[in-house]
Structure 1
Amino acid sequence: MEALLLFIILFACLLSGYPVAFVLAGVSILFGYLFFGEDLLRLIPLRIYGTMSNQILLAVPLFVYMGVMLEKSGIAERLLNTMSLLLGKVRGGLALSVILVGAMLAASTGIVGATVVTMGLLSLPVMLSKGYKPEVATGVIASSGTLGQIIPPSIVLILLGSVMNISVGDLFVAAVLPGLLLVTLYMLFILFMAAWKPAYVPKISKKELVRFKQGSTWKGIIRAFVLPFTLVLSVLGSIFAGIASPTEAAGVGAMMATLLTLMERKLSFGVMKAVMKETTYLTSMVFIILVGATAFGLVFREVEGDKVFIDFIQSVELSPYAFLAVVLIAVFIAGFFIDFIEIIFIFIPVVTPIFQMYDMDLLWVAILISINLQTSFLTPPFGFSLFYLKGVAPEGVTTAHLYRGILPYIIIQLFLMACIILFPELVTWLPSMSG
């Protein structure tokens, strides 16, 4: 009854609209004090300091800094322009370019909001001016912008690794193949649209292609690709080669992003100030939620909520796959209302012991949850990526355009999840090969 009461009070306070971090911490501390007295209040700071001293979490501010700095460098804009004109002869080449650049930014930043806003500002007006149907343009941008949820280095994977006690390096390796498959499925859908509804995905005109070839050199084209690849190689290459831990690689990425911005002559005091301010804001948001979630987790365990939950699951005799389905559906629905950070810190610590009881591969479960969280980012009516894109969309692009355009990509992601459930080797093969 105590565990149930804690959940009811917490859920009611969350629905009130009060900040999640303060709800988690405030309700947990008050509840713990009422039922366990001052002893629990002495224990909470020790638990919080123990959690915050986890070196893996140091990668969060470093990767956030790297993503924000890269956004200021202008590299994404040049990469998008170059790739779209290189694929200009292909029908739907601009949409294919958006997907590829979105994947590149995902592998460079891992920050969904920054990627969606950047791609929306750069490519949405261009796609609309070239004759793309609004639904097609918005769907491509929103879906490719959320690839940072699954393609490493991903903040989602770092937080999942910390909460589920899994190697972040293993998670990064395991996510590579599903991430590449998702990019491939997106591109195949665009090619299908080009064959089925050619008017929706037009080609770039011959005049523009001629103008591009006259104004471009191989040196400029190579430069557009080399700088992002250098950043990705320095981060992921050092992790996969075993040279650096994810935290150390995040430091390398932060330094490389700063150097690339300097090479582009975009680094200034104003840019550094803006990057530091945004990094501090995003990092503080993550960690204050983590503090509240740590207090909640401690109190939840003190009232034996995890034991009650396990006993309930055993009493209803759910099979492992039935329980997995329940968790994925619950996370998917929760993604309509709250951010992925809160979902990871509230839901995942509760269900992880059940997965361990069923002897399920936590690496495989974590990848499924990350793709599921990515899907919830896109799902109407509360998909966060849709809100990000609507905020920078030009006049004439309606919410209905966003909702209709994103549906095919949600289906694609659900299809990928089904494939991973049926064929776990899609996740486990690469980590086993890398040792």
Structure 2
Amino acid sequence: MTDPQVALMMLGIFIILVFLGFPIAFTLMAMGIGFGYYAYYDPSRMWRAYNRLTEDADGWTSFTTWIEGFYNNRIFDLFVNQTYTVMSNEVLTAVPLFLFMGYVVERANIVDRLFTTLNIAAKGMPGSMGVAALVTCALFATSTGIVGAVVTLMGLLALPAMLKARYDTSFASGIICAGGTLGILIPPSIMLIVYAAASGVSIVRLYAAALYPSLVLVGLYLTYIIGRSILQPSVAPKPTKEEVPDVPFAQLAWMLLTSIFPLAFLILAVLGSILFGLATPTEAASIGALGGMVLATAYRAMSYEKLRESVYLTVRTTAMVCWLFVGSYTFSSVFSYLGGEHLISEFVMGFELTPFQFLILAQLIIFLLGWPLEWSEIIIIFVPIFLPLLPLFGVDPLFFGILVALNLQTSFLTPPMAMSAYYLKGIAPPAVQLSHIFKGVMPYLGMVFICMFLMYEFPGLVFSLPDAIYGTR
């Protein structure tokens, strides 16, 4: 068996183990070290150790000599170096800080105030409660980037209110599921930080490039909610005064000032300082984490228990991401050393695909991978397989990254493995069936594909803002 065939076997075994439910990070590390021992095996080193073993009469010394010979393989040096590389990666330093900001904001009761205020402010619009729920999701997702947290919290807060207001169950469920996934795309997205670390693309350019597509996607969602509410009023009846009371203008202005402005200011301060070069992503994330604590304290929602829980969740999620990087770096290094990357490149080039066909194929694979895998696993493990192919087809990795971020919206919305639907079902009233939620998310899948098509037809949506701020590359 040739080395490239061993590499393909390595990839095949990994995919089988993932579907069997093995922990992905540790599976990557184990397979990387196991196959790497074969890839970097040097018989001369083992032979020298064996000679020393046979010449040494002392039992303990013989044992330590054998251990030394066993570990005399470059895969262990590679594993240690890759671990250190992840630990010293300046881009990844922003991940725990943004996570901490999100977890603190989640526990600060800010979202409750935000939804209530927007619901009152938008009561004259068609589908006003749905509009308020989506805008709240978008703002909350921007500050957290954690899909499960946004869908769960909004499901507890907005779904009962919409159902009480006689909203169609599928319509209400679809709004929350779709809005909850926006944090993957809208800056300061943690997913884009992870993609920047995996691809070497500038994170500030990624944030700038993601801004217009995210606004387009939110605009499509709002257009659908308002349009369907006008064409089919029964799915989103106008709220009564008991459901949404009239509030004097001065009181409404004060509610807007105290609920929307602080969170919007925090988001704009963090994002603006990154985009305009006033701070690095890590420095901006530090300010965001501190700002989240200040907001929670100002809203009298900060406590030792909530702080401890936020720190614990931050450490747990960060450890998962970083160990995935360690495993992925080790696995991909061995895979490439064995010739697997070259074999895949030759295989794909053999089809003589156009750049558009390549993008369709790559996005289809990522779309299918989104069913069994989390976005972090797709970005860290599988996206690097496509990255060496991008120059061959003339695809900019910046454009590819935003396209992937859009595509990963679908991984949370596509039945039967739509994770956002399961998050919502877990906390929804018993009358809300999974079939209702699946029915509600389907229109948003179509809008994601429309946004991807618009991106391809009008690349300026991606490139115009980063080029205007930072210049063309």
Q: How does 1:290-369 map to 2 (within 5 A)?
A: 290-369=325-404
Q: Note if contact 1:73-1:264 (Cα within 8 Å) is conserved in structure 2.
A: yes
Q: Which runs of 5+ in 1 are unaligned?
A: none
> Which position in structure 2 is the counterpart of 1:232?
267
> Which position in structure 1 is the counterpart of 2:203?
168
Number of residue pairs aligned between Structure 1 and Structure 2: 435
AA of the residue aligned to 2:139: M
Name the CA distance, whole Å, in 1 between partners of 2:104 and 2:22. 31
Q: Does 1:58 align with 2:62?
A: no
Q: Does 1:5 align with 2:40?
A: no
> Which position in structure 2 is the counterpart of 1:21?
25
Q: Which runs of 5+ in 2 are unaligned?
A: 42-72
Deviates more, 1:216-225 or 1:161-170: 216-225
TM-score, scaled relative to structure 2 = 0.89
Name the CA distance, whole Å, in 2 between partners of 1:61 and 1:356. 32
Q: 2:453 aligns with which of 418, 422, 431?
A: 418
After superposition, the CA RMSD in angstroms is 1.4
AA of the residue aligned to 2:78: L
Q: Does 1:381 align with 2:385?
A: no
Name the CA distance, whole Å, in 1 between partners of 2:196 and 2:245. 49
Q: 2:165 aligns with which of 120, 123, 130?
A: 130
Q: How does 1:66-77 map to 2 (within 5 A)?
A: 66-77=101-112
Name the CA distance, whole Å, in 2 between partners of 1:18 and 1:401. 32
SS at match of 2:376: helix
Deviates more, 1:290-299 or 1:67-76: 290-299
Rate the CA distance shift 1:92–1:260 in 2: closer, same or farther, 3 A: same
Q: How does 1:120-199 map to 2 (within 5 A)?
A: 120-199=155-234
Offset at residue 3 of structure 1 (A): 1.5
Q: Does 1:270 align with 2:305?
A: yes
Offset at residue 394 of structure 1 (A): 1.4
Q: Note if contact 2:120-2:246 (Cα within 8 Å) is conserved in structure 1.
A: no
AA of the residue aligned to 1:117: T
Q: Note if contact 1:332-1:376 (Cα within 8 Å) is conserved in structure 2.
A: yes
Q: Note if contact 1:89-1:204 (Cα within 8 Å) is conserved in structure 2.
A: no
AA of the residue aligned to 1:355: L
Q: Note if contact 2:24-2:324 (Cα within 8 Å) is conserved in structure 1.
A: yes
Q: Note if contact 1:24-1:296 (Cα within 8 Å) is conserved in structure 2.
A: yes
Q: Note if contact 1:148-1:154 (Cα within 8 Å) is conserved in structure 2.
A: yes
Name the CA distance, whole Å, in 1 between partners of 2:455 and 2:336. 32
Rate the CA distance shift 1:217–1:336 in 2: closer, same or farther, 3 A: closer
Offset at residue 294 of structure 1 (A): 1.4
Name the CA distance, whole Å, in 2 between partners of 1:247 and 1:377. 28
Name the CA distance, whole Å, in 2 between partners of 1:117 and 1:129. 18
Name the CA distance, whole Å, in 2 between partners of 1:91 and 1:343. 38
SS at match of 2:350: helix
Name the CA distance, whole Å, in 1 between partners of 2:443 and 2:248. 34
AA of the residue aligned to 1:15: F
Q: Note if contact 2:415-2:438 (Cα within 8 Å) is conserved in structure 1.
A: yes
Name the CA distance, whole Å, in 2 between partners of 1:35 and 1:364. 34
Q: Does 1:392 align with 2:423?
A: no
Offset at residue 45 of structure 1 (A): 1.1
Offset at residue 181 of structure 1 (A): 0.7
Q: Note if contact 1:106-1:152 (Cα within 8 Å) is conserved in structure 2.
A: no
Q: 1:116 aligns with which of 140, 147, 151?
A: 151
Q: Note if contact 2:119-2:244 (Cα within 8 Å) is conserved in structure 1.
A: no
> Which position in structure 1 is the counterpart of 2:59?
none
Cα deviation code 1:389-412 (max 9, x no counterpart): 111111111100111000000000
Offset at residue 224 of structure 1 (A): 1.2
Q: How does 1:216-231 map to 2 (within 5 A)?
A: 216-231=251-266
AA of the residue aligned to 2:206: L
Name the CA distance, whole Å, in 2 between partners of 1:208 and 1:358. 55
Offset at residue 208 of structure 1 (A): 4.3
Larger of the two Rg values belongs to structure: 2
Offset at residue 33 of structure 1 (A): 1.2
> Which position in structure 2 is the counterpart of 1:98?
133
Deviates more, 1:198-207 or 1:156-165: 198-207
Deviates more, 1:259-268 or 1:102-111: 102-111
Q: Note if contact 1:116-1:145 (Cα within 8 Å) is conserved in structure 2.
A: yes
Deviates more, 1:136-145 or 1:277-286: 277-286
> Which position in structure 1 is the counterpart of 2:294?
259
AA of the residue aligned to 1:426: L
Q: Note if contact 2:39-2:334 (Cα within 8 Å) is conserved in structure 1.
A: no
Q: 2:438 aligns with which of 389, 403, 410?
A: 403
Cα deviation code 1:4-46 (max 9, x no counterpart): 1111111111121111111111112111113323222222211
Q: Note if contact 1:111-1:154 (Cα within 8 Å) is conserved in structure 2.
A: no
Q: Note if contact 1:56-1:158 (Cα within 8 Å) is conserved in structure 2.
A: yes
Offset at residue 271 of structure 1 (A): 1.1
> Which position in structure 2 is the counterpart of 1:371?
406
Deviates more, 1:41-50 or 1:247-256: 41-50
Cα deviation code 1:68-92 (max 9, x no counterpart): 0001111111010010111112221
Name the CA distance, whole Å, in 2 between partners of 1:246 and 1:399. 39
Cα deviation code 1:325-350 (max 9, x no counterpart): 11100000000001111111111111
Q: Note if contact 1:332-1:372 (Cα within 8 Å) is conserved in structure 2.
A: yes
Rate the CA distance shift 1:210–1:392 in 2: closer, same or farther, 3 A: closer
AA of the residue aligned to 1:330: I
Name the CA distance, whole Å, in 2 between partners of 1:217 and 1:182. 28
